[in-house]
Amino acid sequence: MSLEGKTAIVTGSNSGIGLGVAQSFAAAGLDVVLNSYTDTDEDHALAADMAKAHGVNVRYIQADLSDGDAARSLVERAGACDVLVNNAGIQHVAPIQDFPAAKWDAIIAINLSSAFHTTAAALPMMREAGWGRVINIASAHGLTASPYKSAYVAAKHGIVGMTKVVALETAEEPITANAICPGYVMTPLVEGQIPDTMKEYGMDRETAIRDVLLARQPSKEFATVEQLGGTALFLCSDAAAQITGTTISVDGGWTAL
């Protein structure tokens, strides 16, 4: 089945994993809606460049996904949604007793509740089109936990649970719902953390990556945004038509421990 002419909405996609997934979709012929909370010339130029590179329609639509109405409006403004990738997320690290309530609320809103709202808005479009894919970017932390990440872990576990519910509610339709669970992925954000980690631990780059950043990732290699894009693209293929309600780990063996 060709994906050309289908529309994919990827939340939180002006950088990192979301951008990698969007690039893979555009290269496969899907029209793409990029999104983040900003609304800059660079955001719209990113869409224009992607459209020119792949000969597809790419738009950038700003939406603050901490607001449920804005999340639903994103899908409505897109006008079509054959593939929904819920990727937007933020992080904060602190012990529970010190965890700011406002940070908890923001993480749950953006990492979990936004996916509920976008999915609720997208499913009628998928049903009308007679086909659809819901792909939630969860995390290894959707399957296991780490200290000091209470809100993030709670949100990602919630995403995995919601994925299963959506899969069951669409099980007799040509719509699937799955969660991709990455471990550590090489993104500009992670790249920026490496020098500080080297300085903090007095290590060279290779040792800091292996022994600190990738301490829980047995492969000792970062996943790449291209690998995650390829995984998302596979979930859109005919070969994945009976894969629904499950998680696919891209974590170098993290959750095998």
- Provide the β-strand partners of residue 247: 179
Give the span between the Cα atoms of 253 and 165, in whole angstroms.
26
Choose among 22, 19, 16: nearest CA to 233: 22
Helices assigned H by DSSP within the chain: 16-27, 41-54, 68-78, 101-108, 114-129, 150-169, 188-201, 205-208, 225-235
- The encoded tokens of residue 195 equal 């020098």
60 is known as an active-site residue: no
Instruction: Tell me the DSSP string of 98-159.
Output: G--HHHHHHHHIIIIIHHHHHHHHHHHHHHHHT-EEEEEE--GGGTS--TT-HHHHHHHHHH
Burial of 35 (0-12, 13-18, 19+ CB in 10 A): buried
Rounded to 5 degrees, what are φ and ψ at 57? -90, 120
Query: Measuring CA to CA, how many Å separate 84 from each of 17, 94, 208?
Result: 14, 31, 36
> Catalytic pick from 37, 60, 152, 184?
152
Point out the residues that are catalytic: 152
